[in-house]
């Protein structure tokens, strides 16, 4: 007989969540603003001397980190519970500090607007979750097309616009792959460029559309966001704006999956169905009932059957929900195949799910998931942001107690995750060292 020893609060060395599994969820969960959108919109403040006010901003550690980076550049940052005001009228630096950039990949978004506004930028290569290679070559090629001289030395990307005007020039950019980061970086750089810029094979993600909405609210001229071809007619000056961040589609999807894995009925709001089309289709295929009501959506699940997933750029199945959905499939009837096509290291959660009794076999970037009747509580580690959420979901459905470490990842992407789940019937305690 094997005994599982769960650490007590006096023995833990890092914050962790203690989850008592087996509880049904009910009621309503509210979704925060989209982290992946808010971070880019914050960087867009660098394009204007006027104040930018963003609302529906989630209270996350990544948002605080971006605020620190902007402050180091000379931006005046004020934050409330769900809003942030950014005044870049006294922008004084073109080089964010390495120690801040290294922990937040989104900090690299500063290079586009810095180059557009100041004619120069030096940004260290970004850090963040270690889920695989995320090269910046598309960003660099695009900036060169717009007239910048770019070099990479000792882990720092240096860019400058030659000539007296120090103004970028519009051009035609074809992305080899529809990178969200490159699309957004080049949109911001082109917003103040001289002339028209065309981005071909652009990313289609809702966050790209949200950025275009903000740039246009600031006086920019952006057409075609959400399609493969985006046209930006550069302007000489951009003004401030008051703009609301879109709801976080990944958080919404995570809560819908929490309802599915616990075989519950749960309303999640706000949800924009068009932002989650591939996920909602797979949930229905798995046997869930989805009831949209205008602003939100209720999921009802009594049984889950196996489905196959292949991660793809939007509008395909999002890589950010691959790990949470795999937790659900670990409890499904039948065998599911999950193929990760975006990040080569984004299957590290498989070993942790196996610790909880999941029957998963790996073949390269493919996981074959044979559903089991019950998962068992165990001490597990969240290896990245979405893997941490996947472990929490698995704990909700497991027999006994699950402890999840790696909260430094979880807190980067989910605002009060355990508080929202506890409010609808979960039993989760945060244990501090």
For residue 89, count other CB atoms closer than 10 A to its CB: 12
- How big, in percent rounded to 5, are the helix, strand and coil portions of the chain? 35, 25, 40
Rounded CA Rg of the chain: 22
Whether residue 110 lies in the annotated active site: no
Residue 370 burial by Cβ neighbours in a 10 Å radius (0-12, 13-18, 19+): middle
SS3 394: helix
Of residues 323, 327, 328, 373, the one with CA closest to residue 345: 323
Crossing angle of the two packed helices 322-329 and 385-397, in degrees rounded to 10: 20
Residue 324 phi, psi dihedral angles, 5° rounding: -60, -40
**CA atoms in the 13 A half-sphere facing the CB of 98:** 6
Task: Tell how far CA 303 is from the center of its chain.
Answer: 29
Helix axes 35-43, 206-217, angle to 10 degrees: 30
Query: Terminal CA-to-CA distance of the chain, rounded, Å?
Result: 30
- Token pair listed for 24: 């049904």
CA distance 200 to 189: 15
The active-site residue, picked from 45, 129, 177, 288, is: 129
Residues catalogued as catalytic: 129
């Amino acid at each position: 007989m094997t005994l599982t020893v769960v650490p007590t609060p006096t023995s833990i060395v890092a914050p962790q969540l203690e989850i008592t599994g087996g509880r049904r969820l009910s009621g309503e969960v509210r979704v925060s603003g989209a982290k992946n959108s808010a971070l880019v919109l914050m960087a867009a403040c660098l394009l204007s001397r006027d104040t930018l006010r963003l609302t529906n901003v989630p209270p996350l550690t990544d948002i605080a980190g971006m605020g620190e980076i902007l402050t180091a550049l000379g931006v005046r940052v004020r934050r409330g519970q769900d809003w942030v005001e950014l005044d870049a009228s006294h922008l004084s630096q073109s080089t964010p500090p390495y120690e801040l950039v290294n922990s937040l990949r989104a900090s690299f978004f500063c290079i586009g607007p810095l180059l557009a506004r100041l004619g120069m930028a030096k940004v260290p290569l970004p850090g963040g979750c270690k889920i695989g290679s995320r090269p910046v070559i598309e960003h660099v090629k695009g900036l060169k097309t717009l007239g910048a001289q770019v070099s990479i030395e000792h882990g720092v990307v240096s860019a400058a616009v030659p000539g007296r005007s120090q103004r970028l020039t519009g051009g035609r950019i074809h992305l080899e792959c529809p990178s969200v980061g490159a699309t957004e970086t080049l949109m911001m750089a082109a917003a103040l460029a001289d002339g028209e810029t065309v981005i071909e094979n652009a990313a289609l993600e809702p966050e790209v559309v949200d950025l275009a909405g903000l740039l246009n609210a600031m006086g920019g001229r952006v057409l075609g966001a959400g399609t493969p071809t985006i046209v930006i007619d550069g302007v000489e000056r951009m003004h401030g704006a008051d703009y609301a961040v879109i709801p976080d589609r990944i958080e919404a999807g995570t809560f819908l999956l929490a309802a599915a894995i616990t075989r519950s009925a749960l309303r999640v709001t706000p949800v924009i169905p068009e932002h989650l089309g591939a996920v909602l289709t797979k949930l229905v295929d798995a046997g869930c009932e989805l009831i949209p009501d205008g602003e939100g959506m209720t999921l009802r699940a009594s049984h889950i059957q196996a489905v196959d997933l292949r991660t793809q750029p939007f509008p395909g199945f999002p890589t950010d929900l691959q790990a949470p959905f795999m937790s659900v499939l670990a409890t499904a009837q039948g065998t599911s195949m999950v193929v990760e096509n975006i990040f080569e290291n984004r299957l590290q959660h498989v070993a942790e799910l196996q610790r909880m009794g999941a029957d998963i076999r790996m073949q390269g970037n493919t996981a074959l998931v044979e559903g089991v009747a019950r998962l068992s509580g165990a001490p597990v580690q969240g290896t990245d942001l979405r893997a941490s959420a996947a472990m929490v979901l698995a704990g909700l459905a497991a027999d006994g107690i699950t402890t999840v470490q790696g909260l430094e990842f979880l807190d980067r992407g989910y605002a009060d995750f355990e508080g929202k789940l506890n409010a609808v019937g979960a039993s989760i305690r945060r244990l501090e060292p």
